[in-house]
Amino acid sequence: MKYIDEYRDPEKVKSLIREIKSIVTKNWVIMEICGGQTHAFLHHGLDAMLPPQIELVHGPGCPICVTPLEQIDRAIAIASQPDVIFTSYGDMLRVPGSSKDLFSVRAKGGDVRVVYSPLEAVQIAEANPDKQAVFFAIGFETTAPANAMSVLQAKNKNVKNFSVLVSQVRVPPAMHAILSSKSNRVQGFLAAGHVCAVMGFHEYPPIAKKYRVPIVVTGFEPVDLLNGLLYAVKQLEAGQAVAENQYQRAVKFEGNESAQRTIRSVFESVDRKWRGIGIIPQSGWGLSPEFQMFDAEKRFDVQNIFTQESPLCIAGEILQGLKKPPQCTAFGKQCTQQM
Amino acid sequence: MYSVWKTMHATNVTIEIDEQALPVKPAVKAACEMLGFDPLFVANEGKLVGFVKETDAGKVWGAMKRINYGGDAAIIGKVIGVGKSQVRMKTAIGGTRLVDMLPGEMLPRIC
């Protein structure tokens, strides 16, 4: 498969691992920002092939992990109402709220549907004028343009039975939060390639400079990930700290300006709560005043649902690289996917 | 994959699958890449997974290749230990990972 096989070439992988081994002399803690990168490291068994000096910590770039419990409870409250068609990206359905997940809403007769694109949710609204179609607009900068586009389309087509439950977050504020913490262990970052395909990486040089950390914009295939690590280790060993772009086939410094304009036309910067971390100022986007009529929180009156996270949950510490997933004492016991 | 996983549990053995040997059609592989699915867990009706003695494997494989519908038959892995229920995958790039069954239906990943 072109554009895939060349980035999964076993010979290139071996040669990059040899190169990393040949230059690494000290222990380094490197965070891959994106959940997709974490998945790729584990899926290909790449993590176990790295030299022991490199400790990977899995960062906060996973909307499934950082969406706060109360936002999931709000989604469940909306999806449980009659005459609602609740639509979402697939893997959000399995994330437990405080008492159930969206799958169990569906099992009890709720109309909960997986969509690949928020524009499908607008089509569902048009096809079902007697129902309310709601889209769970979660994600980082990667999903923001399409999520924003669904709101623009609904407005342009005058689709009044469509709304969005927004939980849109951004990477750079999370990096600031991690790096400014007294307990920070992260010494270098693999920045999320597709976030940067949208936003570019002009936000990263000041972060690299301020906190003295290398930041390498990195793709998602084994050869990308190893190249990203190689760039980061080279910088760390040389005492450098700059923002670099490994993922040049997809990412430009200024990003996709048309997508950024779409985001800016619908969203404005807001404080966002992150699971296990709490509120990070100006760390996300919410609907701007002009688009408030598409706000599902207001339409279904769920703004006042507030949920306490379990004191056993260590998600926040894991997302900041302070703890490892196997250290969770609640996993498989108090916290399961079968609720 | 479910057959391999069930056999592993029923017999308490460690099975190693070779990712490169899995006969996944290019069209299936490409569709899964686009849709965010893992071909290991996509429904695959009407297929046979056989466990045979290592010394007979070549013979059985040859016989399967000669019959109708057996053209893509492949030796996809081996039992490498007894006493520990585990399915491992030797990945195409030379790594190893554990393969567990999905906890529910397969969902496309957002991240």
pLDDT in tens, A225-239: 999 999 999 999 999
Q: How many domains does chain B have?
A: 1
Collapsing DSSP states into helix, strand and coil, what is residue A321? Answer: coil
- Is A143 within 8 Å of chain B by CB? yes
- pLDDT, tens only, A146-199: 999 999 999 999 999 999 999 999 999 999 999 999 999 999 999 999 999 999
- Is A106 within 8 Å of chain B by CB? no
- Is B92 within 8 Å of chain A by CB? yes
| Mean per-residue pLDDT of chain A | 94
Looking at CA atoms only, how far is residue B110 from chain A in angstroms? 6
Give average pLDDT by consecutive 10-residue segment, chain B, 111 residues.
81 94 93 90 88 96 94 95 93 94 81 65
| B11 inside domain | yes
Range of the domain at A127: 1-339
Task: Report pLDDT for B111.
Answer: 65
| B71 inside domain | yes
Yes or no, beta carbons of B107 and A90 under 8 Å apart? yes
In a mutagenesis test of the B interface, which of A1, A6, A34, A44 is the best target, namely the one with the most B β-carbons within 10 Å?
Answer: A44
Range of the domain at B65: 2-98
CA distance A286 to A71: 13
Task: Report pLDDT for A330.
Answer: 85
Residue A337: band (very low, low, confident or very high) from pLDDT cuts 50, 70, 90 = low
Task: Report pLDDT for B108.
Answer: 83
Yes or no, beta carbons of B93 and A46 under 8 Å apart? yes
CATH at B8: 3.90.650.10
- pLDDT, tens only, A43-64: 999 999 999 999 999 998 888 8
Task: Report pLDDT for A339.
Answer: 47
pLDDT exceeds cutoff 80 at A210? yes
Yes or no: say if A275 and A309 are a contact pair by the CB < 8 Å rule: yes
In a mutagenesis test of the A interface, which of B17, B25, B90, B93 is the best target, namely the one with the most A β-carbons within 10 Å?
Answer: B93
CA distance A89 to A104: 16
Task: Report pLDDT for A331.
Answer: 83
Looking at CA atoms only, how far is residue B107 from chain A in angstroms? 5
Yes or no, beta carbons of A139 and B36 under 8 Å apart? no
Collapsing DSSP states into helix, strand and coil, what is residue B43? Answer: coil
Residues A86-111, mean pLDDT to the nearest whole number: 93
| B110 inside domain | no
Task: Report pLDDT for A96.
Answer: 87
- DSSP classification of residue A295: B
**From A10, A42, A90, residue closest to B94, measured CB to CB:** A10
Q: Which of A16, A46, A67, A28 is nearest to A274 (CA)?
A: A67
What pTM value is reported for the model?
0.92
Find chain B residues with C-beta within 8 A of A89's C-beta: 108, 110
**Window 188-227 of A, Cβ < 8 Å to B:** 222
Q: How many domains does chain A have?
A: 1
Task: Report pLDDT for B4.
Answer: 83
CB atoms within 10 A of CB A17: 21
Measure CA of the first residue to CA of the last residue in chain B; give whole Å: 24
* Residue A42 amino acid letter: L
CATH at A118: 3.40.50.11740
CB atoms within 10 A of CB B109: 16
Yes or no, beta carbons of B111 and A4 under 8 Å apart? no
> What b/e sequence results for B20-58 when a residue is b if at least 16 CB atoms lie within 10 Å of its CB, and e otherwise?
eebeeeeeeeeebeeebbeebeeeeeeeeeeeeeeeeee
Strands laid side by side in the A267-274 sheet: A111-114, A84-88, A132-139, A162-169, A278-287, A267-274
3-class secondary structure per residue, A86-128: EEECHHHHHCCCCCCCHHHHHHCCCEEEECCCHHHHHHHHHHC
Collapsing DSSP states into helix, strand and coil, what is residue A336? Answer: coil
**From A4, A42, A89, residue closest to B110, measured CB to CB:** A89
- pLDDT, tens only, A276-324: 888 999 999 999 999 999 999 999 999 999 988 888 888 888 878 888 8
How big is chain B, counted in residues?
Answer: 111
CA distance A176 to A192: 15
| B68 inside domain | yes
Find chain A residues with C-beta within 8 A of B31's C-beta: none
Q: A220: which 2 tokens?
A: 């998602």
Cα-based angle A287, A293, A295 (whole degrees, multiple of 5): 50
Yes or no: say if A243 and A235 are a contact pair by the CB < 8 Å rule: no
Yes or no, beta carbons of A1 and B110 under 8 Å apart? no
**From A36, A337, A338, residue closest to B111, measured CB to CB:** A36
In a mutagenesis test of the A interface, which of B17, B41, B98, B111 is the best target, namely the one with the most A β-carbons within 10 Å?
Answer: B111
- pLDDT, tens only, A59-92: 988 888 899 999 999 999 999 999 999 999 998 9
| B84 inside domain | yes
Residue A286 to residues A37, A146, A264, A290, Cα–Cα distance (Å) = 26, 14, 10, 11
Looking at CA atoms only, how far is residue B12 from chain A in angstroms? 22
Strands laid side by side in the B77-82 sheet: B77-82, B13-18, B86-90, B96-98
